[in-house]
Amino acid sequence: MKKLTLIHIALILIALVLLVGCSSKSDANLQGELTDGTLLSTFENYHLTIYKELSTARSISFEVISSEELSEVDVKIDVETPYEISMEKISIETDLPYYVYQNFRMLDWKRMYELHYQGVRHLLEVGAEMDNYAVEKFTDFNELYREDYERILQKKNYKDIYYYQVILQFQMEDIEIEGYEVFEEIFIIANGVEYKFDIGKVELDYATDFDIPEYLLSPVYIGAWGKAVEPNSKGEIVIDDMEFISLEDLVVTDIRVINDNVEIAEITITTDKDGVSMDRTFNKGEGMHLQQGTTLYPKVVLNDKNFINTQSYSNTIYLVIEYEIEGNSKVVYFESNYLTRPNVYEFIFRKIENVDFLSYYNDYFNKITEWNLDLH
């Protein structure tokens, strides 16, 4: 066996350093603050349509993060539709979360999930009173960067940041426009400086006609707005807060969406009549008969192609429930707006520190959330 020379040893050490350096960032890579004149906007990857005839909410909400305090902002959009701008300061009441720092250090979230799963399974099998090596392994792995994280907190990185919510309210009822207006970028003017942002695609629809008759399958409420969704690999959204009451005997014949790039993966329905509940899967082409006074609770699982493996997103989903009564076909509409709501530090670390959080959500957070466990 040949002896290792000093050159061989040096090359091995360099290779090890390179391997370690590729797998994790150090605090030396942390910028730690917003440079002067920085303005960030969460208004990105929005893919939504606002209909003059159908939409009950004609507003768009997003957040602005600034290195300077702002008294007001102006927003320029290349549309004829008038709009109002409002802004409110958001108080930042928490320090940098540990999970954000773990993502900065490029923690292996697949391994984190494996250890967490093994620890929980061991607890369920043998109980908390037993010596649990699996739990210790998970705890040790989770605490890997804790000391470094505590030092970062003491340095008070990103202490001088200002956080605001901005709402754009479109006045579509006050103007006559033929067809559509579309915008894919906005300009934000703050403290005399103009910033350009690509926002995805927003369409103001003046052309589509909707036949909205008197509802005999009556919604308890007609929609929800600003519901938070987490990034995921399927672009999955679950609408599970709908409630309708059948005012007459009728047959539900179809449930569909009118959004482009959105597909229904599964529909399950709970019905309740006189205290008797029943769960069933809804299949297109199989009518569902409802007696007068029946309450209907649909749960619809959707996949939006614009949401697959993206960290920012917003869309308004329009559901159509078609039903027949005495041979006449009718529809009822339900709209629900969804958007990602990242922690302010998470968004800053994405934009300033170039941190990718998709593995955190896909490989750990979304799986653990299904267990209803406290993650942080």
pLDDT at 370: 83
Are residues 291 and 184 part of one domain? no
Residue 53 shares a structural domain with residue 88:
yes
Answer whether residue 135 is part of any domain: no
Q: Considering only CA atoms, which of 370, 364, 348, 372 is closest in space to residue 104? A: 348
- Same domain? For 251 and 299 the reply is yes
Spell out the alpha helix ranges (H) of 27-145: 98-104, 109-126, 133-142
Residues spanned by the domain of 192: 26-107+145-210+344-376
Do both 181 and 292 map to the same domain? no
The answer to whether position 237 is within a domain reads yes
| Strands 180-190 vs 193-205: parallel, antiparallel or unpaired | antiparallel
Residues 84 and 171 placed together within one structural domain of the fold: yes
pLDDT at 128: 60
Residue 204 lies in a domain: yes
7 occurs within a structural domain: no
Contacts of 27 (CB under 8 A, 6+ apart): 148, 151, 152
The pLDDT assigned to 14 comes to 40
Question: What is the pTM assigned to this prediction?
Answer: 0.87
In this structure, is residue 359 part of a structural domain?
Answer: yes
Report the C-alpha gap between 151 and 244 in whole angstroms: 53
What CATH number did the domain enclosing 294 receive?
A: 2.60.40
Q: Are residues 171 and 267 part of one domain?
A: no
In a domain, 100, yes or no: yes
Instruction: Let me know whether 228 and 196 are in one domain.
Output: no
Dihedral pair phi/psi, residue 143, rounded to 5°? -90, 10
Beta-carbon count within 10 A of 147 CB: 9
Determine the 3-state secondary structure of 319 from DSSP. Answer: strand
Residue 168: per-residue pLDDT: 98
| Assigned domain for 138 exists | no
The dihedral through the CA atoms of 32, 94, 113, 359 has a sign that is negative
pLDDT of residue 130: 52
Looking up tokens 């109980």 gives: 127
Element (DSSP H or E) covering residue 304 = strand 295-304
In a domain, 86, yes or no: yes
Q: Which residues of the chain have pLDDT under 50?
A: 1-4, 6-22, 373-376
99 shares a domain with 77: yes
Question: In this predicted structure, what is the pLDDT of residue 162?
Answer: 97
Q: How many domains, in total, are found in the chain?
A: 2
